[in-house]
Chain A
Amino acid sequence: MDRVLIGDNQFFGINHMSEEKARGQAIRFRNLSAIIAVLEAAYGEGIKTFMCTTHERTAEVCAHFRANRDRYPDYKFYPCMPYAHKYANAATEHGVLGAIRSFLPAENAFGALLSGGISLARKDMEGLAALLIDAEMKVFAGLDTPVILLQNVATDFLLGLGFDEAFRIFADYVRDRYRAEPGFITMNGPRLLARLEKIGIAQPIICTNINKIGFRMCGDVSAYEAMMTHGDCRLIAMSVFASGALPAPQALEYVCRFPRIRSIVFGASSRSHIAQNRQLIEELTASGEAACIAR
C-alpha cells in the first residue's frame, strides 16, 4: 500500500463538519472534469491510489481512467463497498431483503431464495455475496484494484451483529475472484481487530478514524493507540484532520507517530493542499523512522 492515498468524500458532497461546505463541494464537483483535475493534481504529486466508494458517479471516474490508461499506467483504485445510502434508501422503500434483491442481476437463483427459500448453506451465502460484490465491482473492470474494502456501515453492522462468517466470506471472495487484499473500514478499530484475529484473518487491512482529538475513535482512544503501536494489522488512517477541526501539521504529526499506520487517506480539493499534506507526511514519516532507528 502507498503511504498516501486520495479519498473521495469531497467529490460527493460529504463533509462531517458542515452541510453548507458539503453542498459547496457537491456544486464544485458536479462536473467530472473538476474531479479529474484534482485526481490529476494528486497524481502529479505522486499520489497514485484513489480510495473511492462505489457511488453512482464513480463509474464516470473509472471510465476516464480506463480510456486514458497510457497517461496513468500505474494508477490504482481501492474500491469501498457498498455505497451504504443506496442500500439504506432502497431498504426504506422495499424492505431489507427487497433492497438486496433490487441490486442483484435480473436473472439469478438468489432472488427466489430471498423470496422464501431457506437454503442457508455457506455456499449460498457465498453465492449471494459474490453477486453483490460483482455488481459493485462492475465499474472497475479493467482497472487495477489491489485492495477492496468493506464500507464502515456494513463492517460495523456485521461486527455488532456478531455475523463473523460474513467477514470471512468477503475476504475469501475478494482474494479468489479479484486477486485483491480485503480491507475493512470501521469506526470501531480495536474491537474489529480483536474479532478478525479471533476468526483467523491475519494482519488485516483496517481503515479507521485516527485523529488527535479522538473524533469517532469509538471504544477507547488508549485501545486505539495500543493498536496503532503494536497491533498485528495494517492500518489506513482516515479522518486525520477530523473534518477540518485540526490544522494539518498538528494532525499529521499525530498519525505519523504510529508504526502500524501504513497509509494515510485524505480528501483535498486543491493541488496546493495536496502538495502540502504529501510533503508533511513524507517529512514526518522520515523523521519518525529516523527516531526509530536512533532508538
Chain B
Amino acid sequence: MYKAAIIGLGKMGLSHLSIANAHPDIQLRCVCDTSRYLLDVLHKYTGVTTYSDFERMLREVELDCLFVATPSKYHANIVAAALERNLHVFCEKPLALEPQTGYRLAETAERKGLVNQVGYHFRYVAPFNEAKRLLDRKVIGDLHHVRVDAYGPVVLRRKVASWRSQQSDGGGCLFDYACHAIDLANYLVGRPVAVSGTVLNGVFSDSVDDEVYSTLQFAQGLHGQLATNWSDESVRKMSVSMSLWGTNGRINVDRQELQVYLRSPSESAEDLVPGWNTRYTTDLTPPVWFYVRGEEYSSQIDHFVQCIKTGSAATSNFRSASDAVLVASMMRKDALRQGTRIECAPVNEPPVEGKRSHDSTLEFPQLARSTPGLRTTGLTSLPERKRGFMEALFGRSKHG
C-alpha cells in the first residue's frame, strides 16, 4: 500500500480523490485545500484527515506519493517541495507555466529516481494508443501532415472571474486546454521543432485566449496544424481528434473511434485491409477496476501506481509535460511577435516590401511567396525569401 495525499480539491482533485481512494494499492492519508467547508464535509462524512497548509501536511504526514491538482500557478512550488521530500508525484497539467521550470523538476525527479507523472489523460485513451501503435509501425507509411483539433464548452460568455481567466495564473485556452492537444500530438508524432502563424484570440474573454490556431513544423519534413477552441457549445464535452496523413494512407482518431485508410496492405498490421478500417473504443478499451468518469482517468492513476511498483518511468512524465509547456510557450511568443506575413495590396499595384498594409486590405497571413498583388512584411531581403516556402513559413530559428 502506498500512502498518498491530494492537494487541491477542485474538479480534478475530487475526481483523483475518488479514484485513488478506490485503488487497492493506495492508502489515502490526507487531503489539503483552502476551502474549509469542503474539508469539513469530507472529514465528517468520509473520515479523511484534512489540512489547509500543504507544508504542514508534508511535515506531519508520512507519505509515499502526492497528487497535485491546485490551480496551475501553484504546481511548480508544490511539486518541488514534494520532490524535496522524496515523494513520487502525480501533477495535473500544465506541470509549470515556464518550460525551464518544468525541465528542472523533471531533472530533479529523474535524478532521485522518483516516479513523475502529469495528468495528460488522452495518453490513456485506447484509440489514441492504438493509433500510436500503428504509427510507430509505419502502417500508413511516412507521415507528411498531421492535424489536431480540440473543441469544448468551457468559456461560453463574458465576465468569468476565476484563475482560468488570468493569463499569469495559467489561465487561457492555450495553457489550460490546447496543451492537451499539443501533448497528444507530441505523443503520437514527436515534438515540433518550430511553430508559426499562431493565432491566439479571445472569443468571450478579455484578458486570455479562448481559441488557438497554429502551424507546426516537425523534424523530417512533417508539418501540421493545431486548432483548439474552448468556447464551442456545439460539443457536449471536450472533444479531441487527430488526423494523420502518410504515404500509405490516413488515420482519423478520437476517443471513441479509430479509422485507418490504407493504400496497400501493411506487413505490420495484417488485420487491416486496403481502404477504410474502423475500430471502436468498445473493442479497444479494457474495463478498469473502478470507473468514475472515463477509463482514462482510472488508467492514468493505476499507471502511476504500477510505475511506483516497478520503478519504471510514466508515459506522461515531467519531461514530456515540459515539452508541452515549451510548445505552448513557443506558440505564445509566435502569436505576439511582429511576424512574417504577406499582406494584400490594392489590385494592380506591384508588391512592396517591408511595409504594413492598411486596414482596408485583405490579409493572407500564411502566404510566404511573393505573389503579384501581395505585399510582404517582415521578410528583410530577397535571398531570405528565396530560402523556400517552408523556411519563410516557419521563420528563422527563433523558437527552436
Q: B-contacting residues of A (Cβ < 8 Å)?
A: 12-20, 22, 84-85, 88-89, 91-97, 113-114, 116-118, 120, 125, 153, 156-166, 187-188, 191, 213-219, 221, 242-245
* A14 CB → nearest B CB, Å: 7
Contact with A along B98-112 (1 / 0, CB 8 A): 000000000000000
List, sorted by A's number, 7 A–B pairs whose CB atoms are closer than 8 Å.
Answer: A84-B293, A85-B237, A93-B155, A160-B21, A162-B47, A218-B289, A221-B287
Within 126-168 of B, Cβ neighbours of A (below 8 Å) are at: 153-155, 160, 162, 164
Query: Does B15 reach chain A (CB closer than 8 Å)?
Result: yes
* B21-A161 in contact (CB<8A): yes
* A295 CB → nearest B CB, Å: 31
In the bound complex, residues from chain A placing their C-beta under 8 Å from that of B45 are: 125, 163-166
C-alpha gap A20/B22 in the complex (Å): 34
* A154 CB → nearest B CB, Å: 10
Cβ-Cβ contact count across A and B, 8 Å cutoff: 132
CB contact between B18 and one of A113, A125, A161, A244 (< 8 Å): that residue: A161
* A215-B155 in contact (CB<8A): no
13 other contacts beyond A153-B292, A161-B42, A245-B282, with CB at 8 A cut-off?
Answer: A93-B162, A114-B37, A125-B45, A156-B292, A157-B18, A157-B293, A159-B22, A161-B46, A163-B46, A215-B285, A217-B287, A218-B287, A218-B298
* A78 CB → nearest B CB, Å: 21
In the bound complex, residues from chain B placing their C-beta under 8 Å from that of A22 are: 236
In the bound complex, residues from chain B placing their C-beta under 8 Å from that of A116 are: 36-37
C-alpha gap A187/B285 in the complex (Å): 14
* B280-A218 in contact (CB<8A): no
Known A-B contacts A19-B239, A213-B282, A242-B282; A95 and B10 likewise in contact (beta carbons under 8 Å): yes
CB contact between A161 and one of B17, B162, B282 (< 8 Å): that residue: B17
Nearest-CB residue, chain B, relative to A224: B287
In the bound complex, residues from chain B placing their C-beta under 8 Å from that of A191 are: 22, 290
Known A-B contacts A116-B37, A218-B289, A245-B282; A95 and B162 likewise in contact (beta carbons under 8 Å): yes
Nearest-CB residue, chain A, relative to B255: A19
* B35-A97 in contact (CB<8A): yes
* A245-B283 in contact (CB<8A): yes
Within 11-68 of B, Cβ neighbours of A (below 8 Å) are at: 11, 14-15, 17-19, 21-22, 35-38, 40-42, 44-47
Known A-B contacts A96-B9, A216-B291, A218-B289; A85 and B256 likewise in contact (beta carbons under 8 Å): no
* A19-B9 in contact (CB<8A): no
Nearest-CB residue, chain A, relative to B155: A93
C-alpha gap A166/B46 in the complex (Å): 10
Query: Does B334 reach chain A (CB closer than 8 Å)?
Result: no
* B233 CB → nearest A CB, Å: 10
C-alpha gap A221/B287 in the complex (Å): 9
* B282-A215 in contact (CB<8A): yes
* A16-B36 in contact (CB<8A): no
* A113-B37 in contact (CB<8A): yes
Within 256-304 of B, Cβ neighbours of A (below 8 Å) are at: 256-257, 280-283, 285, 287-293, 295, 298
* B242 CB → nearest A CB, Å: 13
Nearest-CB residue, chain A, relative to B17: A161
C-alpha gap A22/B235 in the complex (Å): 10
* B44-A19 in contact (CB<8A): no
* A215-B36 in contact (CB<8A): no
Known A-B contacts A95-B162, A96-B11, A113-B37; A156 and B289 likewise in contact (beta carbons under 8 Å): no
* A108 CB → nearest B CB, Å: 15
* B125 CB → nearest A CB, Å: 13
C-alpha gap A218/B293 in the complex (Å): 12
